[in-house]
Amino acid sequence: MKDFSYVNAADTETALAALRTHGTQLLAGGTELLNWLKEGIEAPEQLVDITGLPLAGIAPGPHGQLRIGALARMSDVAAHPTVVREHPALAESLLLSASAQLRNMATIGGNLQQRTRCPYFRAETALPCNKRDPGSGCAALESGDTAEQAVFGWTPDCVATHPSDLAVALAALDATVLLRGPGGDRRVPADTFHLTPEQAPPERHTVLAVDELITGIELPGGGSGRLSHYLKLRRRSSYEFALVSAAAVVELTGGPRGAEIVSARIALGGVAHRPWRLTAAEEALRGLAADDLPALRAAVAASFTDARPLPDNAYKIELAQRAAVRALRNAVRRRPARPEAEGSPR
């Protein structure tokens, strides 16, 4: 590990000023950065500790939205009553993200900044990886195993997937990522925060500029996230990244056929460099009966016409569609039972 200097940031402006110095990295929970330091993937000149900044709050915003500070611990957010009640998919994604020990350390902002990667990114023997060594190639495509790689949005430069469960839930919940830099504050939709290699060179993971930091996330109010669910599929039940995950959020209304879908939002994980919104499916789901399983499956399938499976991962197409439908149905099941009609027998 390369030597580095250590600075404890007294306030946000100190942290932002430090970021303007070449070779500076921010330290919060450290659950990912410390791995990269030990493995030589990161070698900063300076680490700036931001754990003392006032960015750990979880509180309602001025218009009913929920604001969660970037330094809030994953375990605290997952257990927060408002999150559990109003945005259950968010709580579920955090509980499925990591062990209890890691959740007690890891922060919301840090989780969003996890590296998009595949096993070749952190291989002990140096292998081609455009994310780790730009221009070196992609070992997964050239001679490797593509079973767990992307099926959407990849290019010959990189076929990795983003590992964050939280990011998938936030994309479906229409959350906003709050950023601060020398030019002031800006807001970025959660489903556009991460970048694909079609949008930027593989070594860039997010829209975050080198002199910006995440200050928090914001979730819409009005009960828009109550009917939501997060589903994670992995090779083993203990802590592991998703083969495929799905977050679904629905709004329902009563109709002649029972509950009908007014709107739906679905995001997938484990299939691309960023949470992948199924926008065609979301459009096709409007007006469908919530219990019409064949129609739900057909609507979800509408978003897979542009999927491009690799030699070893065609199974993800079927798995992702099944996960999306299951998450959607589980979100629908969160609808409160209809109250008994007045005077009806008990």
90 with 170: CB under 8 angstroms? yes
pLDDT level of residue 64 (50, 70, 90 thresholds): confident
Q: Thinking of the domain 228-332, which architecture would CATH place it in?
A: 2-Layer Sandwich (3.30)
Q: Which residues contact 222 (CB under 8 A, 6 or more apart)?
A: 64
- Tell me the β-bridge partners of 246: 231, 268
Side-by-side strand order, sheet with 184-189: 58-60, 66-69, 213-219, 176-181, 184-189
Cα separation, 146 vs 167, in Å, equals 23
Q: Thinking of the domain 1-52, which architecture would CATH place it in?
A: 2-Layer Sandwich (3.30)
Residue 346 has pLDDT above 60, yes or no: no
Summarised one tens digit per residue, pLDDT across range 180-234 is 999 999 999 999 999 999 999 988 999 999 999 999 999 999 999 999 999 999 9
Residue 60 has pLDDT above 60, yes or no: yes
Mean pLDDT (the chain, rounded)? 92
pLDDT level of residue 41 (50, 70, 90 thresholds): confident
CA distances in angstroms from 260 to 107, 255, 288, 341, listed in the order given: 37, 6, 6, 21
Residue 239 has pLDDT above 80, yes or no: no
pLDDT level of residue 343 (50, 70, 90 thresholds): very low
What is residue 278's predicted lDDT score, i.e. its pLDDT? 98
What is residue 257's predicted lDDT score, i.e. its pLDDT? 62
124 with 96: CB under 8 angstroms? no
Burial readout 1-12 (b: 16 or more C-beta within 10 A, e: otherwise): eeebeebebeee
Token pair of 6, please?
């250590």
Domain ranges, ordered by start, for the chain: 1-52, 228-332
pLDDT level of residue 2 (50, 70, 90 thresholds): confident
pLDDT level of residue 338 (50, 70, 90 thresholds): low
For the chain, give the longest Cα–Cα distance: 76
pTM score above 0.85: yes
3-state secondary structure the chain: CCCCEEEECCCHHHHHHHHCCCCEEEECCCCCHHHHHHCCCCCCCEEEECCCCCCCCEEECCCCCEEEECCCEHHHHHHCHHHHHHCHHHHHHHHCCCCHHHHCCCEHHHHHCCCCECHHHHCCCCCCECCCCCCCCEHHHHHCCCCCCCCCCCECCECCECCCHHHHHHHHCCCEEEEEECCEEEEEEHHHCECCCCCCCCCCCECCCCCCEEEEEEECCCCCCCCEEEEEECCCCCCCCCCEEEEEEEEEEEECCEEEEEEEEEEEECCCCCCEECHHHHHHHCCCECCCHHHHHHHHHHHHCCCCCCCCCCHHHHHHHHHHHHHHHHHHCCCCCCCCCCCCCC
Summarised one tens digit per residue, pLDDT across range 103-132 is 999 999 999 999 999 989 988 888 999 999
